[in-house]
């Protein structure tokens, strides 16, 4: 149980385009979902926290207009990187947490490369 | 400030040898404690967690961790490593249920044949 999927696993796009990444909890309802960014050989950096039906809470320094997060249902959250630039190239990982619990379950990650 | 420290960036052990990965945290009270493993190009998989009770917790893949309040530590151990254990290991803490998770910087484990 507690499986989280991400789609796509890899995406390559041109500079200036937008990319949407989906995060799904497959066998549980995730009241809270998190989006992380991981730089090479670095730990995870929390970008934002989203609760179902509410606006996402962004961490300091993360541009909310650039990284659009939608958590429309208890099993799906999306991260849209708008007007992507090469510096947005990174590994993006989502996680999901069931209501009333303390454990986050992570997706397999999405490798974004912006040319 | 709250922090999680994994003092070893890289550790190399021989296959079949025992392993201990260190983790220390800096909090006023006992947080919720986790160990995650990340294989190259993959997401994080939960190995084990500690919330309360028995301070020695068993996890998946033969891993265990021991919470020591006096040392503010939550070290991960495995009696005999396998080549497939080569990965990045992250210690993480959550202070309260609704708080964000704080990760250590990770320890890269290398296995010698």
Kindly report, residue by residue over A6-61, the tens digit of the pLDDT.
999 999 999 999 999 999 999 999 989 999 998 877 788 899 999 888 889 999 99
The per-residue pLDDT for B97 is 66
Burial class of residue A53 (count of CB atoms within 10 Å of its CB; 0-12, 13-18, 19+): exposed
Residues of A in contact with B100 (CB under 8 A): 34, 46, 49
Distances from the Cα of A47 to the Cα of B41, B54, B89, angstroms: 19, 34, 21
Give tens-digit pLDDT for A64-90. 999 999 998 999 999 999 999 999 999
Give the integer Cα–Cα distance in Å for A23 and A78: 6
| Residues linked to residue A20 through DSSP beta bridges, in sequence order | A80
- Shortest distance between the Cα of B30 and any Cα of chain A, in A, equals 14
- Shortest distance between the Cα of B7 and any Cα of chain A, in A, equals 14
Q: In this structure, what are the phi and psi dihedrals at residue B101, rounded to the nearest 5 degrees?
A: -80, 140
- CB proximity list for B78: less than 8 A, separation 6 or greater: B18, B19, B61, B62, B63, B64, B85
Residues of A in contact with B41 (CB under 8 A): 91, 109, 111
Give tens-digit pLDDT for B37-66. 998 878 899 999 998 889 999 999 999 999
**Nearest residue, CB atoms, A103 vs list B43, B46, B90:** B46
């Amino acid at each position: 149980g507690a499986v989280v999927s991400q789609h796509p696993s890899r995406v390559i796009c041109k500079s200036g385009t937008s990319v949407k990444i989906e995060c799904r909890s497959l066998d549980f309802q995730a009241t809270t979902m998190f989006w992380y960014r991981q730089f090479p050989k670095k730990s995870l950096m929390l970008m934002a926290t989203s609760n179902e039906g509410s606006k996402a809470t962004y961490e300091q320094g993360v541009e909310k207009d650039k990284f659009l997060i939608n958590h429309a249902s208890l099993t799906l959250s999306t991260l849209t990187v708008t007007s992507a630039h090469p510096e947005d190239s990174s590994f993006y990982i989502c996680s999901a947490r069931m209501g009333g619990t303390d454990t986050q379950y992570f997706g397999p990650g999405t490798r974004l490369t912006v040319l | 400030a709250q922090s999680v420290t994994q003092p070893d960036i890289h550790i190399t052990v021989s296959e079949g040898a025992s392993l201990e990965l260190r983790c220390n945290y800096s909090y006023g009270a006992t947080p919720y404690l986790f160990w995650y493993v990340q294989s190259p190009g993959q997401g994080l998989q939960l190995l084990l967690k500690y919330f309360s009770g028995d301070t020695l917790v068993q996890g998946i893949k033969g891993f265990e961790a021991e919470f020591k309040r006096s040392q503010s530590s939550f070290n991960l151990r495995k009696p005999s490593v396998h080549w497939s254990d080569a990965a990045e290991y992250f210690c993480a803490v959550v202070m309260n249920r609704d708080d964000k998770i704080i990760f250590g910087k990770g320890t890269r484990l290398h296995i010698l044949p």
